[in-house]
């Protein structure tokens, strides 16, 4: 056969193989908390191909940018007073600069708003109100000076988004060192213990917590459609990791994308109706 003809045939075959692989890849819908074998099987891939894809699909790192996939977080202000309440307003804009108004309900809310100082202190999980013009607003009080990271966590058209920006509070800044990892933390007189927590980057990890008062287990009410809510932030860039809860216990499944230190913020509600927050430092190994 003519060498040129052979080369052309080889190129055509390679193109077909590449196109088939691209099509198969486009059919794999990888979700946080789902094993890669499950998503590969749904795409019609064999078990060997699924095993080659890895045992766990990494959760997407979110909250690193003000814009993502055509949507943008626009804050009405970039600075805030210290120690007194103010109204923080913001909008979500589409590619054409129009205000987005249609949001999905996620964990019983259409918008979750997280505020935390850059040293990962002063954590707040808020639920803004949507105004008739499509803007969102929420009262916020920031007690200490410094740079704060704010996260708008929501879903539009079944696509999750976490958009983030910075808010400055003037004054003398006294940053705190990240606490060392510990298995227990106090929260309003309650003892919260991390019973599971060994974590390896890229592998599915179970984070399980118990709540006691004077050694006696404390009953937990539902909060945001589950027994608790957990936010994980990566040290340094404050990458936002969405962690999925078990509906019937304080157990969460997470896949940490990289090794390093993460700060875990667990929120839960007790039978008296009070909302509590416990914070842990989680080491993730390679």
Q: How far apart are CA 78 and CA 166, in angstroms?
A: 7
Q: How far apart are CA 113 and CA 94, in angstroms?
A: 19
Three-state SS for 31?
coil
| Total residue count of the chain as it appears in this document | 286
Q: What is the pLDDT of residues 76-105, one digit of tens each?
A: 999 999 999 999 999 999 999 999 999 999
Pairing of strands 79-80, 159-169: parallel
Whole-number pLDDT of residue 60? 65
Pick the CATH number of 184-285 from 3.40.50.300, 2.30.30.90, 2.60.40.1080, 3.40.190.10: 2.60.40.1080
Average confidence (pLDDT) per 10 residues, the chain, 286 residues:
44 38 29 33 30 44 94 98 97 98 95 98 97 97 98 96 98 95 96 90 93 96 94 96 86 93 97 96 94
- Give the domain ranges of the chain: 3-52, 67-169, 184-285
Three-state SS for 18?
helix
As assigned by CATH, the class of the 67-169 domain is mainly beta
Rg (CA), the chain: 22
**Pair of tokens at residue 178:** 């990240």
Distance of CA 174 to the CA centre of its chain: 27
DSSP state of 5: H
- Measured in degrees and rounded to the nearest 5, phi and psi for residue 62 equal -125, 170
Say whether 184-285 and 67-169 share the same fold. Answer: yes
Which residues are CB-neighbours of 272 under 8 A, at least 6 positions away? none
């Amino acid at each position: 056969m003519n060498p040129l003809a052979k080369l052309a045939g080889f190129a055509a075959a390679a193109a077909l193989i590449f196109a088939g692989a691209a099509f198969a890849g486009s059919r794999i819908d990888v979700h946080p908390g789902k094993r890669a074998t499950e998503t590969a099987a749904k795409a019609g891939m064999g078990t060997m191909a699924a095993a080659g894809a890895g045992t766990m699909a990494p959760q997407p790192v979110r909250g690193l940018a003000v814009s993502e996939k055509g949507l943008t977080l626009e804050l009405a202000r970039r600075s805030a007073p210290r120690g007194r309440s103010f109204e923080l307003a913001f909008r979500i804009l589409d590619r054409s600069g129009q205000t987005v108004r249609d949001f999905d309900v996620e964990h019983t809310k259409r918008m979750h708003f997280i505020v935390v100082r850059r040293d990962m202190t002063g954590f707040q999980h808020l639920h803004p109100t949507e105004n008739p013009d499509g803007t969102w607003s929420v009262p916020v009080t920031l007690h200490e000076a410094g740079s704060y990271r704010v996260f708008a966590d929501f879903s539009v058209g079944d696509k999750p988004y976490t958009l983030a920006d910075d808010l400055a509070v003037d004054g003398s800044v006294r940053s705190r060192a990240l606490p060392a990892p510990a298995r227990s933390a106090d929260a309003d007189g309650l003892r919260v213990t991390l019973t599971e927590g060994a974590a390896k980057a890229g592998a599915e990890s179970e984070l399980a917590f118990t709540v006691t008062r004077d050694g006696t287990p404390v009953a937990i009410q539902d909060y945001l459609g589950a027994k608790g809510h957990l936010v994980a932030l990566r040290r340094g860039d404050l990458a936002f990791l969405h962690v999925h809860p078990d509906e019937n216990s304080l157990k969460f499944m997470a896949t940490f994308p990289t090794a390093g230190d993460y700060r875990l913020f667990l929120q839960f509600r007790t039978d008296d109706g009070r909302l509590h927050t416990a914070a842990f430092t989680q080491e993730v190994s390679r």
